[in-house]
Structure formats: structure tokens, C-alpha cells
Amino acid sequence: MPDGPNETIFGAILRGEIPSDKVYEDDLVYAFRDINPAAPTHILVIPKKYVVNCMDCGEEDKEMLGHLMVTAAKIAKDEGLEGYRFVINNGGVAGQTVFHLHAHIIGGRDLSWPPG
Ligand code: 5GP
């Protein structure tokens, strides 16, 4: 589990050093619009706790991870989505580019499967 300062861009967003288009916030998570949306609705939900990705999580993170998923569903409903893609890229080989855990909420258009 990382325990040093969070030098990622999302760490800077959480600290308010970089502006973000906030959608939702509570004690455990922060949600904001993706700067380069892949669909009409593209929101990122991140834990306030610094973890790199799911592979960095342990038993102690179950509440946070469950909360992330339940909160994403609430946000999707609030956005008026009929359905959405919930994606977490874990590791560079899976397409992760920012190394602070984040879930993508992607919706507002038909989505193809499988992803690339
Ligand atoms: P990943 O590829 O790591 O799963 O997703 C990273 C996401 O973060 C990308 O969709 C990218 O557009 C988004 N992103 C990167 N930098 C920023 C930023 O400074 N602000 C916002 N709002 N999104 C960002």
C-alpha cells in the first residue's frame, strides 16, 4: 500500500491544486468529469485514500471499494443514464495512465463490447 505523498495528477486534484469539474464528494470518494471524455458522460470516481489500483488494495479497503461502486451507480442515475460502463484500468498493460485508483463511469451513447 502506498503511504508517501500522492504525486499523481489526481492527488493534486484532491488537494485542490488543480481545478476539476466536481460531480460528487463525501468522506471516502471524490468524483469529477474526465478532461478528455470518451462519451457524452464520462466521470471519474476516486478514493480519497491513495491507492495505486485494485491490485494495491487489501481487506481493509473493502468498504472503500464497495462504496466506490455503489456511489458510481448513484451518480450514473443522477446523470440520467439508462446504463453505463464501469471501468477500472489496473496497471499500464491494462491502460492505466494515472496511478491513483479511479473508476470510469462512461455512458450516454451505445458502447461496444469487448473493449480494446
Ligand atoms: P486511465 O487511462 O488511467 O484509466 O484514465 C485516466 C483518465 O484521467 C483519462 O480518461 C484522462 O482523460 C483523465 N485525466 C488525466 N488527467 C486529467 C486531469 O487533469 N483532469 C481530469 N479531469 N481528467 C484527467
Give the confidence band of 116 by pLDDT, cuts at 50, 70, 90: confident
3-class secondary structure per residue, 73-94: HHHHHHCCCCCCEEECCCCHHH
Residue 3 in this model has a pLDDT that exceeds 70: no
Catalytic residue among 42, 100, 102, 104: 102
Asked about 42 being catalytic, the answer comes back as no
Whether residue 115 lies inside any domain: the answer is no
In a domain, 1, yes or no: no
What's the CA-to-centroid distance between 35 and ligand 1, angstroms?
6
Domain for residue 4, yes or no? no
> How much is the pLDDT for 1?
46
Judge whether 88 and 100 are in contact, CB under 8 Å: no
Q: Which ligand 1 atom lies nearest to the CA of residue 95?
A: 2
Mean pLDDT value across residues 27-36: 98
pTM for the predicted model, two decimal places: 0.96
Best CA proximity match to 29, nearest among 87, 60, 68, 66: 68
Structure-block grid coordinates of residue 6: 500522492
The number of distinct structural domains making up the chain is 1
In CATH, what number is assigned to the domain containing residue 28? 3.30.428.10
pLDDT at 5: 73
Cβ neighbours of 104 (radius 10 Å): 20
